[in-house]
Copies of this chain bind each other. A is one copy, B any other.
Amino acid sequence: MNGAHALLSTLVANGVDTCFANPGTSEMHFVAALDGVPQMRGVLALFEGVATGAADGYARMAGKPAAVLLHLGPGLGNGLANLHNARRAHTPMVVVVGDHATYHKAYDAPLESDIDAVAGTVSGWVRRTMRTADLAADACDAITASRAGLVSTLILPADVSWNDGGRTAPAATLPTVPTVTDDALRAAADTLRSGAPTVILVGGDATRKPGLAAASRVAEATGARLLCETFPARLERGAGVPAIERLAYFAEAAQEQLEGVAHLILAGATSPVSFFAYPGKPSDLVPDGCDVHVLAEYAGAAAALEQLADELAPGATAVSAAAVRPDRPTGDLNAFAAAAVIGALLPEAAIIVDESNTGGVGLATSTAGAPAHDVLTLTGGAIGYGIPAAVGAAIAAPDRPVLSLQADGSAMYTIAGLWTQARENLDVTTVIFNNGAYDILRIELQRVGAVSAQPPGPRALELLDLGGPAIDFVKIAQGMGVPARRATTADELAAALIEALTEPGPHLIDAVVGSLAG
């Protein structure tokens, strides 16, 4: 058996049975081996950022890694932004980067580059397999490492892939979830018993129902406030799920949320910092004099909260969000009306992939009491995540409707993902919040102007404007095989959404909402 066959066999033997691929010549033996390992589903992406983002969305929903197949250093580069997001989401992933044959690297052929250096910036585990006989064991190590919440990158020289001598796969070991220490538990319990103003910042694996329910019980019993990290990898919410407010994106708003807090208990979240630096404003958002206590890191946070709840709140009951939807609006469409339409119509068991950015300002409120759903967010701030992640989420959960909420600007980074949605006939409804601008940057430019007392000039504003020419997402989607409609009123959006959610397969709605930057 050649190396490619051994690698594929090892992956599927360990449950990694989906590979998002954008292959090239150096990966042809891997591609050829797909016919010998039919348990592996190969999903073609037309751009590497689609493959990596899809693997991220897949793993967040499947709870296990997908494989990704990339072509040398430039392919890895094209996939890097969504690997960055995956790293921040603690997403398990096994990235296979095909490289030149071992003996060919010395010739500095045109595609030669330093793959290892680039991979190291996003991967918690990197290895270059040099012998075909080692490939199965290396793949097992990659899977084991990924299962701890890492991007694992296996660099696969072409000759290691095509040579014979591949071995049978051993089984990958699964890492154990870290448990909370007695000290950390006692410190948190003592703090909460003190009655001082305390916020529990929930993140990591505690942003799903069990962790949120435990946090809610603690809050009920102690009066502590709960906040969720700003960008959870997967947040469960809606009717029947304990509600939790997210820490705000803008530093000023987050500071308001944390004002007067004496203790901050981190349960899976990291200590809050400003997303960007701003002149004269703090990077650290912890209020002066506030003590920070680490209850749990990313993994094990839900279990730690459950232990804490059992100690502090044995009789308390979690408070879940009521089932309540906004009225379906009519008339003009803007970001808030669009959010209300979505809140009114969100189907059961939906997966929301949220890259709506400024356009999504009304969504948290409008969907708070909608049927229980999962929200996947932009954990690393590298835009171009949503359309690919929707691909992966839909493949991981084929019986759940995926609602991909997209800003117009960020949609254009990985727009080719729509084609994979069509090719795989995925049940994804994309709503473009089309405001014709990099609206977040207009807001940021206004903030710059507010500090310097110089309003933004026309040449600067021009560089943030997506209106000339207006991007027609309907035509772009249709060009990639996705049925699409434009909505310019709330009624049109509702009609389009009902149609899209009723018909199987992918759809796109180009929702023309206004700018928030004024």
Contacts and interface: CB of A to CB of B under 8 A. Distances in A.
A449 B162 CA distance: 12
B88 A81 contact: no
B416 A32 contact: no
A25 B381 CA distance: 11
A463 B34 contact: yes
A418 to B, nearest CB: 10
A460 B32 contact: yes
B74 A42 contact: no
Interface stretch (A112-120, A126-134, A192-200): A112-120
A47 B478 contact: no
B472 A478 contact: yes
Given A276-B158, A479-B471, A444 B25 contact: yes
Contact of A159 (B113, B279, B481): B279
A28 B440 CA distance: 11
A350 interface: no
Contact of A113 (B122, B273, B458): B122
Nearest to A43: B463
Copies of this chain present in the complex amount to 2
B231 A31 contact: no
B380 A110 contact: yes
A463 B114 contact: no
Nearest to A87: B113
Interface in A369-424: 379-382, 384, 409, 412-413, 415-416, 419, 422-423
Given A28-B444, A110-B231, A284-B107, A469 B459 contact: no
B277 A100 contact: yes
B422 A469 contact: yes
A469 to B, nearest CB: 3
Interface string A266-283: 000010011111010001
Nearest to A385: B74
List the 6 shortest-distance A-B pairs measured between CB atoms, nearest first.
A35-B457, A469-B481, A77-B80, A74-B382, A475-B479, A101-B277
9 contacts: A32-B449, A32-B454, A32-B460, A35-B457, A107-B284, A118-B121, A159-B277, A162-B448, A423-B469
Interface of A: 21, 23-26, 28-29, 31-36, 38, 42, 44, 46-47, 49, 73-75, 77-78, 80-81, 84-85, 88, 100-101, 103-104, 106-111, 113-114, 117-118, 120-122, 158-159, 162, 231, 270, 273-277, 279, 283-284, 379-382, 384, 409, 412-413, 415-416, 419, 422-423, 440-441, 444-445, 447-449, 452, 454, 456-460, 462-466, 468-481
